[in-house]
Every structure is written in structure tokens, then in C-alpha cells.
Structure 1
Amino acid sequence: MNNERLYQVILGPHISEKANIIAETQNQVVFKVRTDATKLEIKKAVEKLLGVQVQAVNTVLVKGKNKGFGRTPGRRSDFKKAYITLPAGTEVQLADVAE
């Protein structure tokens, strides 16, 4: 895999209430990733960028919502989330990952 590609796979951390609960209880972190990224690319990118061992990668393709912007109808973009499972006792500072 190309090193340039690994740096482009992770777009940033996904910060939400559910992501914080999962981080505390199940030792997982959530990232927004490119929609064409594979699980193997995501795993290698996290291991290279954060320097941690990854146990598992689960992905979810989130479909964009139809929203109105005033009188103009619009649509939010689709995006992909990756749930990264880390070994017990491993902590990652999400401030280290630029969004």
C-alpha cells in the first residue's frame, strides 16, 4: 500500500455522544474515513498514524439526509465511519489526529 494513500484514508475523528460512550465502555474509537477505504487500509493507517495495535475494524456507510435550506431542497453527503477496537489498557488522544 502506498504511504500517501494511508495518510488520506482517515479524515478525522467522529465526535458524538455515542462515540464517547463506546470509547469509555468498549475501548473503541470512531473515525470518519473515505468512502472507498477498505478495512485493511483503515487498520494500517491507524497503526501507522497513531502507533497503536488494532484488534478489529468495523465500518458503517452512513447515508446522507434530505434537508431543506430555506426554500431550496438539499442533501447532506454520504460518509463512512470506522469503529476501531483497541486492546485493553490502550488510550488514544483524539486531539493528536487533525480533522
Structure 2
Amino acid sequence: MANIQYYDVILKPIVTEKSMELMGDKKYTFLVHTEATKSQIKEAVEKMFAGTKVKSVNTMNLDGKKKRVRGTFKYGKTAKTKKAIVQLTAESADIEIFEGL
């Protein structure tokens, strides 16, 4: 496994209708590095966002989608991704990225 620093773990937040509903329960969704573990994700969230305390982390490995190559009958695939849903504790501060959405 590669040596991943905490600032390389979280790639970007995922903003969808479902993830917005989960924010009411202090659950935030992120696209993370494919080799990141739950403990690395927890550490990265607590270091990157001041005042946050992570209760639990749920992860999902997503396969790449099958795509047709332009002009031919060949097929390729998009890259595999990993998604993490981070549950914060009740007394934890909210994450500022999602404020005002």
C-alpha cells in the first residue's frame, strides 16, 4: 500500500440530493483515495476541518462504468472510485465546505 498523507486522502466532497439530506444527521459524503482506510479517512477529516470529531466512517468501492470508445465498437471503463460517508459526533462542529448549500 502506498504511503498516503492526510491531505491526499479526501479528493472532493460529493454534493447530491441524498448527501444533502444526510447532512441533517451530521453525515458528510466525500470522494476519497482508492487505497485509503477508514482510520486514514477519520484522521484526515479531523485534521482538515477544525473542531470536528468523527464518530464513524462507512466506505463504498465503486467500479468504473463501461463506456464506448468514440467511432469504434470497442469498450473501455472509467476509473474505479471510493466513496466515504463520515458520521460526526453530536457535539462536533459542522464542516464549513457544506455551509450555505
TM-score past 0.5 threshold: yes
1:92 alignment counterpart:
95
How far apart, CA to CA, are the structure 2 residues paired with 1:95 and 1:58?
19
Deviation at 1:67, TM superposition (A): 1.8
| Worse overlay, 81-90 or 49-58 | 81-90
SS of 1:31's partner is: strand
Higher helix share: 1
SS of 1:74's partner is: strand
Output aligned runs, 1:18-97, within 5 Å: 18-24=18-24, 26-51=25-50, 52-72=52-72, 73-88=75-90, 90-94=93-97
1:12-66 deviation digits (Å, cap 9, x = unpaired): 1112222111112x21000111010011111011000002110001100011110
RMSD: 2.0
In structure 1, runs of 5+ residues without a counterpart are none
TM, length-normalised to structure 1: 0.81
TM, length-normalised to structure 2: 0.79
How far apart, CA to CA, are the structure 2 residues paired with 1:39 and 1:6?
12
How far apart, CA to CA, are the structure 2 residues paired with 1:32 and 1:55?
18
Larger radius of gyration: 2
Q: Does residue 15 of structure 1 match 2:15?
A: yes
SS of 1:15's partner is: coil
1:15 partner letter = V
